[in-house]
Amino acid sequence: MKRVLSASLLLAAVSALAAETPLTLEAALSTADAAHPVMQAARADLDLALADEKVAGSVNDATLAAEAILRRGRPTVGDDDWLDDNVGRLVLRKTLLDFGRESGQVAAARQEVNARQLALMDTRDARRIDIMARFFDVLLADARYGAENEFMAVHYVRWDDSKKRHELGEMSDSQLAELEVRFQDARERRNRSLMAQRATRQRLANALNQPGRLPSVLALPQLGHNDLSLPTYEDLLPLALESNRKLLALQAQLNAVASRSDAIRASRAPTLDVEVIAGDYSRDTSTRDRLSGGLVLNWPLYQGERVDSRLARQVAERTRLEAQVEQARRELSEGLLETLQEIEWLRSSARPAARAQIDYRDKALDRARAEYELEMRTNLGETMAETQQAAIRASEAEYRLALALARLEALVGQALTAFATQTKLTEN
C-alpha cells in the first residue's frame, strides 16, 4: 500500500510539473542581456568611457564667465585719496587652435569606448556560456536523481525481501547487514542528487538574473550545431587573432595610449583663443573699454616636469598593455587548440562510446524484461537504472560538446554557421 501511495504521489508531482511551461534553452539564452550584475558592471564601464569621450570633446567649448571685483585704488596723479575701483564684466572665450590637444584626447577617448564596447560583447558571450552550463547542469541533475532513485528502490526491495529469509534462517546477519548497507549507500547518493537538483536550479536562476524564481521544468535542447563541420586549427588561429574581442579591446587601449601621448606632447605647443569682454566700471579711465574683443596667443615656455612625467606614465602603460596583448595571444592560441581537441575527442571518442553503452544497455534491458516476465530474475529495476546512466553519459557528452562549440565561437569572435560555410567553400 505504501508503494502504491508513493507511486501515486510521484505521478501527481510529475503531472503538476508537466502542466508548467518548460523553460527552453533559447528562452534562457535570451536573458543574456538582462540587468545581471556582471552585465551592469560592463555597461557602467562603457558609460564611463562615453562620458570621458564627451569630456574630451568639450575641452575647447566656449566659456562664458561673470566676474565681479570689489576693490579700492589710489590714483598716481591728483590729490584724491583712495577711491572705489569696482569691476563687473562678462568674459566669453573660445579656443580656436590648440595644435592637437583636443583631437588627441578625443581620439584616445573613442578608442577607450571601442575597448569597452568589445569588453561588453565579451562579457555577454561569457554570460551565454554560463547560462548554457547552468541549464545543462539542471538537466543532468534531474537525470542523475532519476537513476539514483531507481537504484535506491532496487536496493530497498532486496533488503526488505531478505528480511523474511533472515527470519527463516536462510540468510546470515552479515548478509542482511550488507544489503542494508547497500541500501543506505544508495539512499545517501539519492539524497545527495536531490540536493543537487535544488542547488543547480538556484545557480541557473542566478544566471538568468531571477534569483527568486527557480525553474521547475526544463525542455530538452535541440543541439543542432553539434555536428557542424569546422576548419582546422591552422585556419582558425589567424581568424581568432584578428577577431577575438579580448585582443581587439587590448589593441584599442594601446591605440588610446598612443593618441593620449600625442595630446600630451601637444601641450608644449601654443593655444590661440578668441576673447570678447563686456564690462562696467565704477571708475572710468581712458584705458578701459566697455566692450572689447581680441585674439590671445598663449605659448608655454616652461612647465617643469609636467609633460615629461605624464609621458613617462603613458610609456609604462603602453609597456603593460603590450605585455597583456602578448599574453592574451598565447592564451588564445592555447585555448583554441584545447577547445578544438576537446571537440574532436567528444565527437570521435566520447560520443561513440556513450552510444555503444546505450546500445548495450538497451539490449540488456530487453533481456532483463524477458527474463523478468519469465520470473527468472528480479533485478529489472537495476538494469533500468543502468540504462538511465548510459543515457546520462550520452547527454553529458552532447552538452560538453555544445559548451565547447560555444567557447570556440567566443574565442574566434564569429558565428559557428560562418565556420561551417567557410569549411564547405574550401572543400568545394
Tell me, what DSSP letter sits at residue 347?
I
**So what's the pLDDT on residue 166?**
80
More confident residue, 9 or 110: 110
The single residue listed with the C-alpha cell 525542455 is: 219
Phi-psi region of 82 (alpha: psi -120 to 50; beta: other; left: phi over 0): beta
Q: Are 364 and 379 in contact (CB under 8 A)?
A: no
Domain span at 275: 60-72+84-427
Q: How confident is the model at residue 383 (pLDDT cuts 50, 70, 90)?
A: confident
Q: How far apart are CA 167 and CA 189, in angstroms?
A: 29
pLDDT digits (tens, 9 = 90+) for 90-137: 999 999 999 999 999 999 999 999 999 999 999 999 999 999 999 999
40 belongs to a structural domain: no
- CA 244 to chain CA centroid, Å, is 14
Q: Identify the helix (H) or strand (E) that includes residue 205.
A: helix 173-207
The single residue listed with the C-alpha cell 542581456 is: 33
pTM to 2 decimals?
0.83
**So what's the pLDDT on residue 13?**
46
Which range of 73-82, 311-320, 408-417 scores highest in mean pLDDT? It is 311-320
Q: How far apart are CA 366 and CA 24, in angstroms?
A: 32
**Mean of the pLDDT values across residues 9-19?**
46
Q: Are 416 and 171 in contact (CB under 8 A)?
A: no
Q: What's the chain's average pLDDT?
A: 87
Radius of gyration of the chain measured on its C-alpha atoms: 37
Count other Cβ atoms within 10 Å, centred on residue 18.
9
**So what's the pLDDT on residue 1?**
36
Amino acid in the structure at residue 186? A
pLDDT at 2 over 50: no
Count other Cβ atoms within 10 Å, centred on residue 207.
24
264 belongs to a structural domain: yes
46 belongs to a structural domain: no
411 belongs to a structural domain: yes
Q: Could you give the 3-state DSSP secondary structure of residue 41? A: helix
Q: Identify the helix (H) or strand (E) that includes residue 64.
A: strand 63-69
pLDDT at 187 over 70: yes
53 belongs to a structural domain: no
Q: DSSP strand E in 87-142: where?
A: 87-97
Q: Could you give the 3-state DSSP secondary structure of residue 276? A: strand
Percent of the chain with pLDDT over 90: 60
pLDDT digits (tens, 9 = 90+) for 31-89: 998 889 999 999 999 999 999 999 999 999 999 999 999 988 877 766 667 888 899 99
15 belongs to a structural domain: no
The single residue listed with the C-alpha cell 573699454 is: 289
pLDDT digits (tens, 9 = 90+) for 219-268: 999 998 899 889 999 999 999 999 999 999 999 999 999 999 999 999 99
More confident residue, 338 or 355: 338
Domain count along the chain? 1
Q: How far apart are CA 256 and CA 263, in angstroms?
A: 11
390 belongs to a structural domain: yes
Tell how many helices (H) and how many strands (E) occur in the chain. Answer: 11, 6
Q: Are 257 and 321 in contact (CB under 8 A)?
A: yes
The set of cell numbers assigned to 233 is 586549427
**Helix boundaries (H) for 281-415:** 306-345, 351-373, 380-412
**So what's the pLDDT on residue 379?**
61
pLDDT at 377 over 80: no
Q: Are 143 and 277 in contact (CB under 8 A)?
A: no
Q: How confident is the model at residue 175 (pLDDT cuts 50, 70, 90)?
A: confident
Q: How many CA atoms lie within 13 A of 404 on its CB side?
A: 23
pLDDT at 293 over 90: yes
Amino acid in the structure at residue 362? D
Q: Are 346 and 340 in contact (CB under 8 A)?
A: no
- Could you tell me the CATH number of the domain that includes residue 219? 1.20.1600.10
**So what's the pLDDT on residue 281?**
86
pLDDT at 286 over 80: no
Q: Are 400 and 354 in contact (CB under 8 A)?
A: no
The residues pairing with 277 across neighbouring beta strands, listed in sequence order, are 91, 292
Q: Using CB atoms within 10 Å of the CB of residue 127, give its burial: 0 to 12 exposed, 13 to 18 middle, 19+ buried.
A: buried
**Mean of the pLDDT values across residues 370-397?**
72
241 belongs to a structural domain: yes
Closest to 190 measured CA to CA, from 136, 151, 143? 151
Q: How many CA atoms lie within 13 A of 2 on its CB side?
A: 2
Closest to 402 measured CA to CA, from 204, 137, 208, 201? 137
- CA 252 to chain CA centroid, Å, is 20
pLDDT digits (tens, 9 = 90+) for 141-156: 999 999 888 888 888 8
**So what's the pLDDT on residue 6?**
45
